[in-house]
């Protein structure tokens, strides 16, 4: 009695140690990428649980008691709450899932528990995608799925299956599932919205331009190799020195920092366009800001974005996911010939007490009676002829940053030149604004598209001339023409701080990088950004017309059916042996006849046993039932059946009338 009760309470461990080891090993693979994201105590706890479970398995020790696990579970939940402040949300929920998974290990006894664990492991694989969706991560997680599937096979098998065999079979299963996966990926109706959108990390970790520029802000960005956006041109790409990617336009200067207006300058910009339009398809990386980028000057705004009065391209919401848009720009333009007077006023504002020497310089220029155009030339000539140096590492500026830069250090990066130029112009009475964005980019010869990196960040100025409108002036070009023609790396020889790609002279490494970037770009475009619109577009192109959701769903069902049917055919062709024995088919027909009269043959019943049972149940037909069974047994199991046995059996089965 007592022992029976005990056996009910703690079930026997029936999983073999090697299966448990396999499970914990695959689990550690799945959880490994999370190790850097969860608190250290969780890593230690999870690792300890896995090691302990394996040790228990090999040493045949007892599993922890249920109440101990209950206490541990409580502490795990409490610890998660203490570490994260919540137990919901992406980070806390994933951490909790990991802890519970490891605790589940501690009560894993039989095949059923192992199945639960296997499915939890599959689920945990997905949680890694909440953090990274790169190709290496995808490949790694595919490996994890491979390992988990091998475990799934192992726990369904008797004896000691070989690991290599299991892995091979698991790979085969995954390969068979691949076409189905492709069908589901392409055709499963996609819905835009919070249900499908992956939660994005906050602004942290995303680099990009901001709505303010102070000395040092762009030079720090220039150290980043990260891709800002990629551009495909409709035709041949324009020359490098015309590639000014327009971003935030900065109007307000407080003596140290240039800022964009707090609210958008709403209004229809007065833009006259000319020249060959340049079509661009831009894939913008998430930067958590609302700017979109386009070449000077964008002629219109893509969907769910708009153009401001100073021709910034603004998205309706911060760009938290990679987005793709098309925009057309016009290299020849006239912008704002009749600009709003209030704005021109704003473009002359300067804080009173800053940079007296610069103000003085501008004042002397103005007293010379120069036109605005001549003033601009004067300033550029100064930059060109005086010993100004273009450098990433200028000395730190003191209180009067512009004075310091213009008269003392004369070393600076593009933001210094743009800021100083704009200051001088405003002081001299020429309406000026600072434009930040990117300049240039690297043409990927492999994929025929342009990569613009954070290191291409740039700042320039726009001045307003009566009758001509806003004109772009890049003072950096005056100091370092190379920067504009060939990029920051060429303009800064021998500087260690330039991003890696810029330093590399080796051609094949460059080619390799280009090829890798192309693969990453394709992955972004076709896998990660396979949005509802893209799905619709592709289906419509495929069907040659408009496609409804219902159409896509039908295609999904049909394609799934076809894939499964093809796989089934392949599988059946391998298992189908010799054509079915005619005697056996007749025996099946006979069995069915009897089954209709309540005497069903069990699948494991042989002819003799069935004949005895059936003739007892249907005594009126005993003779014919026995005769049929005897004929069948002779045909199927005995040697030297007579030639007419088969026809006799056929006739006997046909003539058997049971009612």
Residue 606 makes contact with other proteins by CB under 8 A: yes
Contact 330, 273 (CB under 8 A): yes
CA distance 471 to 463: 5
Residue 271 makes contact with other proteins by CB under 8 A: no
Residues 607-636 that bind other proteins (CB under 8 A): 607-609, 633-634, 636
Helix (H, G, I), strand (E, B) or coil at 252: strand
Least distance between other proteins and beta carbon 57 (Å) = 13
Active site residue 102: no
Residues 474-493 that bind other proteins (CB under 8 A): none
CA distance 630 to 633: 5
C-alpha 284: how far from chain center: 13
Least distance between other proteins and beta carbon 19 (Å) = 11
Nearer to other proteins, 466 or 581 (CB): 581
Nearer to other proteins, 60 or 467 (CB): 60
Order of all β-strands in the sheet with 227-233: 323-329, 278-284, 227-233, 449-453, 442-444
Nearer to other proteins, 505 or 639 (CB): 639
CA distance 551 to 563: 18
Strand partners, 250: 434
DSSP 8-class letter at 121: H
DSSP 8-class letter at 430: -
Window contacting other proteins (CB under 8 A); options: 98-106, 153-161, 166-174, 533-541: 153-161
Nearer to other proteins, 227 or 583 (CB): 583
Greatest extent of the chain over all pairs of C-alpha atoms, in Å: 132
CA distance 573 to 567: 10
Least distance between other proteins and beta carbon 152 (Å) = 12
By CB under 8 A, name the one of 95, 101, 145, 155 that touches other proteins.
155
CA distance 62 to 617: 54
Which of 414, 416, 517, 621 is catalytic? The answer is 414
What is the token pair recorded at 159? 């004896």
Active site residue 91: no
Least distance between other proteins and beta carbon 74 (Å) = 31
Backbone angles phi, psi at 325, to 5 degrees: -145, 160
Least distance between other proteins and beta carbon 223 (Å) = 58
Site size toward other proteins (CB under 8 A) is 23
Contact 450, 237 (CB under 8 A): yes
Residue 522 makes contact with other proteins by CB under 8 A: no
Binding mask 563-602 for other proteins (x = CB under 8 A): ------------------x--x------------------
Q: Over the Cα atoms of the chain, what is R_g?
A: 38
Residues 156-195 that bind other proteins (CB under 8 A): 156-159
Write the CA distances from 494 to 139, 391, 441, 453, integer angstroms. 38, 11, 20, 20
By CB under 8 A, name the one of 10, 14, 132, 651 that touches other proteins.
14
Nearer to other proteins, 14 or 386 (CB): 14
Active site residue 34: no
Which of 211, 310, 403, 474 is catalytic? The answer is 474
Q: List residues near other proteins by CB under 8 A.
A: 12, 14, 111, 155-159, 581, 584, 603-609, 633-634, 636-639
Query: Which residues are identified as catalytic?
Result: 414, 458, 474
């Amino acid at each position: 009695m007592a022992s029976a009760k005990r056996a009910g309470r703690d079930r026997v461990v029936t999983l073999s140690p090697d299966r448990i080891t396999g499970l914990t090993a695959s689990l550690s693979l799945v959880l490994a990428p999370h190790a850097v994201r969860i608190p250290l105590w969780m890593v230690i706890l999870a690792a300890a649980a896995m090691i302990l479970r394996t040790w228990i398995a090999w040493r045949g020790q007892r599993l922890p008691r249920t109440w101990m696990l209950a206490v541990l579970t409580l502490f795990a939940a409490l610890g998660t709450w203490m570490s994260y402040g919540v137990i919901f949300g992406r980070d806390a929920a994933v951490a909790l899932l990991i802890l519970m998974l490891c605790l589940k290990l501690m009560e894993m006894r039989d095949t059923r528990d192992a199945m639960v664990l296997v499915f939890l492991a599959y689920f945990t694989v997905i949680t890694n995608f909440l953090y990274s969706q790169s190709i290496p991560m995808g490949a790694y997680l595919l490996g994890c799925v491979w390992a988990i599937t091998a475990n799934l096979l192992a726990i369904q098998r008797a004896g000691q299956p070989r690991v290599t065999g299991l892995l091979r079979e698991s790979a085969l299963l995954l390969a068979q599932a691949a076409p189905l996966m492709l069908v589901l990926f392409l055709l499963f109706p996609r819905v835009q919205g919070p249900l499908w959108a992956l939660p994005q990390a906050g602004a942290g970790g995303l680099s990009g331009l901001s709505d303010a520029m102070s000395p040092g802000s762009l030079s720090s960005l220039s150290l980043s190799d990260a891709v800002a956006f990629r551009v495909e041109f409709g035709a041949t790409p324009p020359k490098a020195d015309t590639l000014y990617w327009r971003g935030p336009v900065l109007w307000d200067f407080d003596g140290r920092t240039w800022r964009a207006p707090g609210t958008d300058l709403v209004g229809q910009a007065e833009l006259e366009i000319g020249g060959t339009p340049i079509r661009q398809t831009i894939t913008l990386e998430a930067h958590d800001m609302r700017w979109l980028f386009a070449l000077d000057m964008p002629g219109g705004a893509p969907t769910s974005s708009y153009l401001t009065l100073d021709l910034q391209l603004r998205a309706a919401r911060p760009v938290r996911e990679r987005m793709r848009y098309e925009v057309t720009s016009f290299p020849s333009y006239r912008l704002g010939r009749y600009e709003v007077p209030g704005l021109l006023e704003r473009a002359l504002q300067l804080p009173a007490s800053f940079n007296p020497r610069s103000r003085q310089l501008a004042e002397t220029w103005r007293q010379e009676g120069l036109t605005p155009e001549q003033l601009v030339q004067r300033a550029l000539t100064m930059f060109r002829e005086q010993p100004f140096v273009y450098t990433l590492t200028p000395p730190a500026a003191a209180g009067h940053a512009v004075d310091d830069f213009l008269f003392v250090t004369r070393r600076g990066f593009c933001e210094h030149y743009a800021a100083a130029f704009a200051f001088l112009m405003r002081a001299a009475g020429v309406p000026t604004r600072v434009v930040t964005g990117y300049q240039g980019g690297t043409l990927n010869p492999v994929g025929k598209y342009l990569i613009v990196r954070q290191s291409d960040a740039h700042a320039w100025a726009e001045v307003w001339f009566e009758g001509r409108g806003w004109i772009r002036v890049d003072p950096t070009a005056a100091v370092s023409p190379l920067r504009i023609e060939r990029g920051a790396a060429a303009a800064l020889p021998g500087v260690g701080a330039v991003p890696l790609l810029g330093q590399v002279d080796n051609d094949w490494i460059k080619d390799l990088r280009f090829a890798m970037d192309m693969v990453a770009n394709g992955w972004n475009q076709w896998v990660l950004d396979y949005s509802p619109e893209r799905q619709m577009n592709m289906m419509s192109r495929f069907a040659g017309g408009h496609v409804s959701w219902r159409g896509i769903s039908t295609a999904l069902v049909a394609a799934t059916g076809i894939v499964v049917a093809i796989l089934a055919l392949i599988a059946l062709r391998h298992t189908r042996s010799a054509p079915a024995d005619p005697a056996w088919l007749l025996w099946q027909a006979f069995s069915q006849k009897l089954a209709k009269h309540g005497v069903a043959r069990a699948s494991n019943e042989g002819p003799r046993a069935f004949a005895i049972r059936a003739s007892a149940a249907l005594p009126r037909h005993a003779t014919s039932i026995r005769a049929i069974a005897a004929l069948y047994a002779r045909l199927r199991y005995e040697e030297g059946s007579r030639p007419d046995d088969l026809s006799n059996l056929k006739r006997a089965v046909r003539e058997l009338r049971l009612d």
